[in-house]
């Protein structure tokens, strides 16, 4: 009997395209298995797009990790892929527990998840390794300076999905948002094109592929229109940055600006699949397939830039239809 390879995506939310990508990965590799989605509520779209949806406690619950381990045993899960920032740091110290059950937990080291979790620590990492990033400024000093050169940029230091991220155009706006944004951090506003890099790291810590995506238009912090750009400056910068992260594994999402004089200024690092990853997948960067292949002991041929340049993604709303009792 062929052993099944079931994949568990946690905190699935709206990540229907990623569910489909992992299902296609299993089919392409000729592997029998299901894609299972775990979520807090039944009304997550990915919950119903998966082969099976399972309920789990809130990420902050002490029962969360034990429940995932229980699910892995019950559902014969071979790979777990966390999808939201708040669970990465929680799960990172427990890779050995999952490995003891024959499960590959695709999460980076605690050191890397800590760097990503707090934007101030991210900035310290950039500085320590010589990567340019927007200057961090003092809100009180700006407010006290009548000649301050607005605009600036303000965001929560521990924020996610661009929640609370605000352009600051004057002192009144700065005073308001600095007071009403928890753990606020003020930075210079960088001019240039904004990119997201999807960087794949294998289980030996080697960067195997980098896909820069130009963020042409965003909605609620997630790209709605984007384009792959095969720029050697961005490929090299993304590879060098991620190789400096201690114990990075899987898909690492990096945000940066490319200034008019082609200087790269890094903004954020998120050690998980980004919401815009389906563009990279459509361009030929088959990260789900390659992750599963590595877990199976296979060695797929991968080129750092072996994907389609200039592919444009124009996202639109889609829907999953279920009956009322399915989400109760």
> Quick check: helix, strand or coil at residue 51?
coil
* DSSP state, residue 146: T
Average pLDDT over residues 110-123: 94
Q: Are 266 and 255 in contact (CB under 8 A)?
A: yes
Lowest mean pLDDT among 21-35, 161-175, 215-229: 161-175
Average pLDDT over residues 124-141: 92
Q: Report the distance separating Cα 108 and Cα 92, nearest Å.
A: 6
Closest CA to 227 of 315, 318, 317: 315
In whole angstroms, how far apart are CA 77 and each of 45, 70, 236, 291? 21, 10, 35, 14
User: For residue range 178-205, what is the model confidence (pLDDT) as tens digits?
Assistant: 888 888 888 888 899 999 999 999 999 9
Average pLDDT over residues 58-72: 97
Helices 16-29 and 287-295 cross at an angle (nearest 10°) of 50
Start-to-end CA distance of the chain, whole Å, equals 37
Pick the CATH number of 6-107 from 3.40.50.20, 3.60.15.10, 3.10.180.10, 3.20.20.60: 3.40.50.20
Domain boundaries, the chain: 6-107, 112-131+192-314, 136-188
For the chain, how big is the Rg over CA atoms in Å?
20
Q: What is the pLDDT of residue 2?
A: 58
Closest CA to 242 of 213, 208, 289, 216: 208
In whole angstroms, how far apart are CA 19 and each of 60, 285, 299? 24, 16, 23
Closest CA to 246 of 120, 131, 129, 111: 111
Q: What is the pLDDT of residue 1?
A: 41
- pTM for this entry: 0.91
Average pLDDT over residues 272-297: 97
pLDDT, greater one: 157 or 104:
104
Q: What is the pLDDT of residue 160?
A: 64
Q: Report the distance separating Cα 297 and Cα 316, nearest Å.
A: 37
Beta strands in the chain (DSSP E): 6-10, 35-39, 52-55, 77-82, 104-105, 136-137, 152-156, 166-168, 184-188, 193-201, 207-219, 222-228, 250-258, 264-270, 312-314
The percent of residues above 90 in pLDDT, for the chain, comes to 84
Q: Which CATH superfamily is domain 112-131+192-314 in?
A: ATP-grasp fold, B domain (3.30.470.20)
Average pLDDT over residues 123-140: 93
pLDDT at 46 over 50: yes
Confidence of residue 157 (pLDDT cuts 50, 70, 90): confident
Q: Report the distance separating Cα 196 and Cα 103, nearest Å.
A: 29
Average pLDDT over residues 279-308: 97
Lowest mean pLDDT among 30-39, 132-141, 227-236, 266-275: 132-141
pLDDT at 170 over 60: yes
Q: Report the distance separating Cα 47 and Cα 148, nearest Å.
A: 49
Confidence of residue 222 (pLDDT cuts 50, 70, 90): confident
Instruction: Please provide the average confidence, as pLDDT, over all residues in the chain.
Output: 94
| CA neighbours closer than 13 Å in the CB half-sphere of residue 2 | 8
Q: Report the distance separating Cα 321 and Cα 318, nearest Å.
A: 10
On the question of a common fold for 6-107 and 112-131+192-314, the answer reads no
In whole angstroms, how far apart are CA 166 and each of 169, 202, 224, 233, 269? 9, 35, 19, 28, 19
Element (H, E) at 279: helix 277-282
Q: Are 19 and 12 in contact (CB under 8 A)?
A: yes
Closest CA to 292 of 58, 64, 81: 81
């Amino acid at each position: 009997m062929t052993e099944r390879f079931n994949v568990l995506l946690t905190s699935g939310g709206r990540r229907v395209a990623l569910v489909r990508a992992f299902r296609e990965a299993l089919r392409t590799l000729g592997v029998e298995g299901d894609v299972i989605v775990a979520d807090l509520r039944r009304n997550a779209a990915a919950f119903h797009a998966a082969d099976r949806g399972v309920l789990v406690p809130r990420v902050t619950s002490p029962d969360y990790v034990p429940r995932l381990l229980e699910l892995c045993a019950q559902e014969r899960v071979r790979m777990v892929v966390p999808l939201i920032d708040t669970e990465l740091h929680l799960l990172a110290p427990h890779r050995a527990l999952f490995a003891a059950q024959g499960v590959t937990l695709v999460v980076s080291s605690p050191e890397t998840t800590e760097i990503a979790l707090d934007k101030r620590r991210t900035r310290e990492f950039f500085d320590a390794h010589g990567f340019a990033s927007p200057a961090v400024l003092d809100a009180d000093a700006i407010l006290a300076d009548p000649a301050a050169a607005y605009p600036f940029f303000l965001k929560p230091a521990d924020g996610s999905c661009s929640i609370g991220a605000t352009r600051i155009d004057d002192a009144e706006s700065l005073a308001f948002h600095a007071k009403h944004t928890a753990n606020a951090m003020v930075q210079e506003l960088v001019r240039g094109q904004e990119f997201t890099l999807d960087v794949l790291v294998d289980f030996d810590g080697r960067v195997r592929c980098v896909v820069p995506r130009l963020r042409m238009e965003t909605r609620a912090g997630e790209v709605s229109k984007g384009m792959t750009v095969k720029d050697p400056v961005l490929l090299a910068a993304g590879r060098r940055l991620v190789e400096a992260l201690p114990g990075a594994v899987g898909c690492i999402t990096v945000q940066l600006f490319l200034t008019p004089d082609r200087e790269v200024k890094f903004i954020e690092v998120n050690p998980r699949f980004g919401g815009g990853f389906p563009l990279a997948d459509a361009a030929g960067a088959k990260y789900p397939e390659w992750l599963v292949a590595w877990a199976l002991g296979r060695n797929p041929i991968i080129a750092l830039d072996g994907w389609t340049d200039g592919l444009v993604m124009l996202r639109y709303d889609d829907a999953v239809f279920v009956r009322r009792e399915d989400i109760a």
